[in-house]
A and B are shown apart, each in its own frame.
Chain A
Amino acid sequence: MGGVHPEENKISTNAVIEKFPVPAQMTVLMNQHLGAPATPIVAKGDKVKVGQLIGEAQAFMCANVHSPVSGTVKDITAVKDPFGMMKPAIVIDVEGDEWMETIDRTPDIKRECNLDSKEVIAKLKEMGIVGLGGATFPAHIKYAVPEGKKAEYLIINAVECEPYLTSDHRVMLEHAEEICIGIDILRGALNVPHAYIGIENNKPEPIAHMQKVAAQFGGRLIVEPLKVKYPQGAEKQLINAITGRCVPSGKLPIDVGCVVSNVGTTFAVYEAIQKNKPLIENILTVTGKKLPSQHNYQVRIGTTYSDIIKHSIGELPATTGKVISGGPMMGKAMCNLDAPTVKGASSVLVIDEGEAVRAQESNCIRCGKCMMACPMGLEPYLFSALVRNDRFEEAGANNILDCIECGCCFFSCPANKPLLDEIRLGKNKMRAILAAKKK
C-alpha cells in the first residue's frame, strides 16, 4: 500500500569504507540517543583512553557514552548540535591513540558466544549500543522484552530504501560475517528460532553475499529480498512485508511479536559483544551529485561535519543548497556544520541548490496523489486543510498521529504543498492536546 519511487542515486555504492583520521579535537554530545542525556563522569583535565566510559546512563531511557579518542578532557560544556540547539557535551583534546586494554583490536573474527540473554543485554547497555537506523533507541531496552510479551521474529532492517545512502550496503559487503554473528547473538538473546534480514531487490550484490554467509548459520538466518519501494524500510512496513503482520496504531513492534534492528546496529553489536568495543565508530556516507568524490567512512563519533567535509572533498561546491544528515526523504537539513556527529548519523548528503529549493506552492487540486502515496493510508491533503484552520482535534480523529513522517506525500504533491511540515505541526499540537487532557 502506498509508497513512492524516488531516484535512487546510490552513487557512492562502490566507495570502499575508509578509516577516517582522528581529528585534533573531539566533541562528544551527551544525548546521542532517544531519551535523557547521559551524565558526564569525567572532570576537566582528566586523561581518557579510547573506549573509556565518559557519560553514564542514569535515567531509564538513556545510553552510555564512551570516549572515541584518547587525550585530555578540555571542557564539560554545552555546544550547538547540527540544528543549532545547545546540547551538553564533553570536549576532548586528542593525544595519541591509546585504546582501553579490554578492547580486542585484532582483526580475527570471533564466532563463539556463550553469553545468555541477560548477559548480552547487560553488555549492550555497558557498550552504549543504540539503534543506528535513525531513531537511536537504546538497544538494551529494545532487547529486554517486557513481561507478558513474547518475541517471535527478529527482523534485521538492511533495506536502505532512502536514496543516496550506501553505508548499510557497504557494511554488508565488507563485514557480512561479523554482521551475521551479531544477528545470531541477538537472535539467541531473544530466544527466537529465526532472524530475517530484509534487503531491497535493487541490491543484488549484498543479497547474494549475505545469503552466502548466512548459509553457514544452519538456517537460523534468512535473507528476505524485498520489493523496491520507498519506504520499505519503515519499521511497520518492513514487519508487514516480512511477517504479514500489522502493528496497530499506537502499538510497538513487540506487541505483534517482532523486534526490528538496523543492520548497522548488528555490526556494532558484534563488536561490542565479541570484541568489547563500545559504540565509538560508525559508518558514514559522504555523497552528493555535485561532489568531486564519493566516500564511505568509518568515523569516530564526535568528529565535526566540517572536518569530514574538509578531509573528503575539501570544500562544499559553490552551488550547495542543503547539507543533510541522513537521506533526502527523512534526513534533517543542517545549519551548523561545526557540530559533531552522533551515534545515529548515517551520512553527509550535499544537495545542489537547484534541487534544494522548494518550488512555489499552489492550490491543492485534490488529485489524491498524497493519499495514494501514503504508506499508512492517511489523508495528507485533509491534514493540511485542518491544520491550516487550527482544527487539530479533527486531524487527530483522522489518525494524524499514525503518520510515520516518511515524506511520500510532499514528495508526490504536484502543487508543492509542504504537507509533511503541516502534518508535523499538527502532530505536535495534537500531542500537546492529548497531554493536556491526561492531566
Chain B
Amino acid sequence: MKLLNVSGSPHVHSDESTKKIMWRVNLALVPALLVAIAYFGLNALLVSIVSVAACVLFQWLIEKFIMKQPTTNIWDGSAVITGLLLAFNVPATCEMVWIVAIGALVAIGIGKMSFGGLGKNPFNPALVGRVFMLISFPVQMTTWPVPAAKAFSFSADAVTGATPLGILKEGGAEALPQAWELIVGHMGGSMGEVSALAILIGAIYLLIRKVITWHIPVAFIGTAFLMSLICGACGMAPEGVNAGYYAVQQILMGGIMLGACFMATDMVTSPMSKSGQLIFGVGCGLLTIIIRNWGSYPEGVSFAILLMNAVTPLINRGFKPKRFAK
C-alpha cells in the first residue's frame, strides 16, 4: 500500500481555484466584446485579438526568460483578462493594432510582472497600459470611430467623431446620444465601454458566481451619480438638460460602467473588507467626476481607479473586517 498522507486540517478543499475565477471574468467580458464587434466591426475583433495575444506572449516571455520560472502561468487566464480590458479601453481603429501591442507590453511587463506576477501588482495592469497609451499616443487614443451601420465588417475609414463626454466638456448638448443609445451603447467611445447593458450582463454573472461583490460597483456608480446630480443642480448641466438626466448620462457615458464592474473590482488591487470596498468605490466615483468636471481630460475613470489602487494598502490597514464579538 502507498504511504498515508499527513497534514494539518482541513483535509478537504472547495473546488475554487484562481484559474476558475479568472476564466469566469473572461466569460463575463464576452457580451461586451460581442457588442464592440457589432458596433465597430472586425477592427474591434482584430484589436482584441492582438491585445490578448500580446499580453499572453509577453507574460510567457517574461516568465520564461527573465523570471526563469520552471512552469508558466499563462493558462490561469489573468493575462487574457488584462488583454481584453486593455482592448476594451481603446478606440477600435486600425492604428490601435500596434499601439495596443505596446500597451500590452507596458501592462504586463511594468504593470504586472515587474512586481512578481499575478497577485503582487499594486495597480490594475490594464489601466497602467491604458494610461501609458493615453499619454504617449494622445491623438490616436482619442480618435473615436462612430458605431458603424454595417456590423461585422472592416471599416478602415470609419467616420470619427467626439465621444459624448467630449461633447459635454465642450458644452454642447444637441449632439448628445439619445437615452436608448446610452443604454445599448450606440455612441462613440472605447470599444468595450459603450454598452452599459452588455457590461451589466457580465457583472450580474460575476455577482452570481461570487467572483465580485456588489460593494465596489454600487459605491462607485452611486457616488458618481450623486456627485453628478449635485453638479447638475448647481448648473453644470448643459442648457435644456435637467440634473437627473444629466447624472444618468454621466454614469452611462464613458468608462464608469466598465470601470466599476470590471476594473475597480479587480481582486488584486482592491481592498479586502466590505467597508474598505465601499470606501474604495466612493473614492473612485468622487475622483472620476472631479477629473471629468475640473480636470483637463474629458474622462477620469482610469486615473481615479489607479489613484484608489495606490491607497488600497492603506484602506486594508484602516478598514478591518468586523471581528467576532466586537
Chain A positions within 8 Å of B, measured between CB atoms, are 1, 4, 6-7, 163, 236, 240, 246-249, 316, 318, 320-324, 326, 328-335, 351, 353, 355-359, 362-369, 371, 374-379, 381, 398-399, 402, 405, 407, 410-416, 418, 420-421, 424
Contacts and interface: CB of A to CB of B under 8 A. Distances in A.
A313 B11 CA distance: 22
Interface residues of B, number: 38
A146 B136 CA distance: 73
Contacts of B68: none
A398 B316 CA distance: 12
A237 to B, nearest CB: 8
A163 B14 CA distance: 13
Contact of A1 (B117, B272, B324): B324
Nearest to A412: B14
B5 A321 contact: yes
Contacts of B326: 248-249, 377
Contact of B268 (A334, A358, A365): A365
A246 B326 CA distance: 8
Nearest to B21: A414
Q: Which of A331, A358, A367, A413 has the most CB of B within 10 A?
A: A367
Given A334-B4, A364-B119, A410 B324 contact: no
Given A329-B10, A335-B4, 8 more contacts: A328-B10, A328-B12, A355-B13, A362-B119, A365-B119, A366-B119, A381-B272, A420-B10
Nearest to A336: B4
Contacts of B20: 414
A320 B18 contact: no
Given A353-B2, A365-B21, A365-B267, A418 B8 contact: yes
B5 A375 contact: no
5 contacts: A6-B14, A7-B12, A333-B8, A366-B270, A379-B321
Contacts of B2: 318, 320, 353
Given A368-B273, A371-B272, A163 B12 contact: yes
Contacts of A407: 9-10
Given A316-B1, A363-B119, A329 B9 contact: yes
Contact of A410 (B10, B76, B322): B10
B320 interface: yes
A368 B267 contact: yes
Contact of A333 (B11, B76, B273, B321): B11
B63 to A, nearest CB: 12
A215 to B, nearest CB: 34
Interface string B287-326: 0000000000000000000000000000000001111111
A414 B73 contact: no
Contact of A355 (B12, B18, B76): B12
B66 interface: no
A152 B21 CA distance: 47
Contacts of A405: 9
A330 B9 CA distance: 5
Nearest to B7: A333
A362 B73 contact: yes
B206 to A, nearest CB: 12
Contacts of A424: 8
B208 interface: no
A383 to B, nearest CB: 13
Contacts of B18: 362, 365, 414-415
A328 B118 contact: no
A6 B12 contact: yes
A411 B1 contact: no
A411 to B, nearest CB: 5
B170 interface: no
A337 B326 CA distance: 43
Given A366-B119, A377-B322, A414-B17, A320 B4 contact: yes
A365 B118 contact: yes
A358 B12 CA distance: 9
A369 B16 contact: yes
Contacts of A376: 323-324
Nearest to B322: A377
Contacts of B150: none
Nearest to B276: A368
Q: Which of B11, B120, B320, B322 has the most CB of A within 10 A?
A: B11
B55 to A, nearest CB: 17
A424 B120 CA distance: 24
Contact of B321 (A321, A357, A377): A377
A163 B10 CA distance: 11
B30 to A, nearest CB: 21
A356 B117 contact: no
A210 B11 CA distance: 31
Contacts of A240: 324
Q: Which of A323, A355, A356 has the most CB of B within 10 A?
A: A356
Nearest to B120: A363
A355 B4 CA distance: 13
B322 A356 contact: no
Interface in B130-168: none
A247 B11 CA distance: 28
A420 B9 contact: yes
A414 B272 contact: no
Contacts of A356: 5, 11
B62 to A, nearest CB: 15
A359 B17 contact: yes
Contacts of B117: 363
B116 interface: yes
Nearest to A357: B5
A243 to B, nearest CB: 13
B11 A331 contact: yes
Interface in B83-123: 116-120
B6 interface: yes
Nearest to A335: B6
A332 B4 CA distance: 13
B319 to A, nearest CB: 11
A13 B290 CA distance: 62
Interface string B64-87: 000000000100100000000000
A14 to B, nearest CB: 22
A402 to B, nearest CB: 7
B149 to A, nearest CB: 42
A322 B267 contact: no
Contacts of A359: 13, 17
Contacts of A353: 2, 5
A189 to B, nearest CB: 27
B273 to A, nearest CB: 7
Given A1-B324, A249-B325, A318-B1, A421 B116 contact: no
